[in-house]
């Protein structure tokens, strides 16, 4: 997946740009606030995974790679 940041100078045009991009089926529009929340959720999940692994309840790297 690739990422693209678009700076819209005219705030009045922002709703149009968002709507236009949402109609392209291979484009996912993620607003900055939602992106921050997603990053925090992913980080929280990673921390829980590491803590679980430290307690000896997690999967080894070999097992995780086998699942791929």
User: What's residue 10's pLDDT?
Assistant: 95
Number of domains in the chain: 1
User: What's residue 4's pLDDT?
Assistant: 86
Assess if residue 4 is contained within a domain.
Answer: no
**Parts of the chain with a pLDDT under 70:** none
Assess if residue 5 is contained within a domain.
Answer: no
Assess if residue 33 is contained within a domain.
Answer: yes
- Residue 17 belongs to domain spanning: 11-67
pTM to 2 decimal places: 0.45
Main-chain phi, psi angles of 60, to 5 degrees: -75, 165
Assess if residue 30 is contained within a domain.
Answer: yes
User: Do residues 39 and 46 touch, judged by C-beta distance below 8 A?
Assistant: no
Q: 49: Cβ–Cβ under 8 A, 6 or more apart, which residues?
A: 58
**What tokens were used for 42?**
């992913």
Integer Cα distance of 59 and 68 in angstroms: 13
CA end-to-end span of the chain = 18
User: What's residue 52's pLDDT?
Assistant: 83
User: What's residue 22's pLDDT?
Assistant: 92
């Amino acid at each position: 997946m690739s990422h693209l940041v678009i700076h819209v100078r005219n705030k009045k045009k922002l709703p149009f740009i968002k709507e236009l991009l949402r109609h392209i089926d291979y484009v996912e529009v993620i607003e900055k606030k939602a992106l921050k929340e997603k990053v925090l959720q992913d980080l929280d999940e990673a921390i829980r995974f590491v803590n679980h692994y430290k307690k000896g309840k997690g999967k080894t790297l070999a097992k995780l790679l086998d699942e791929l």
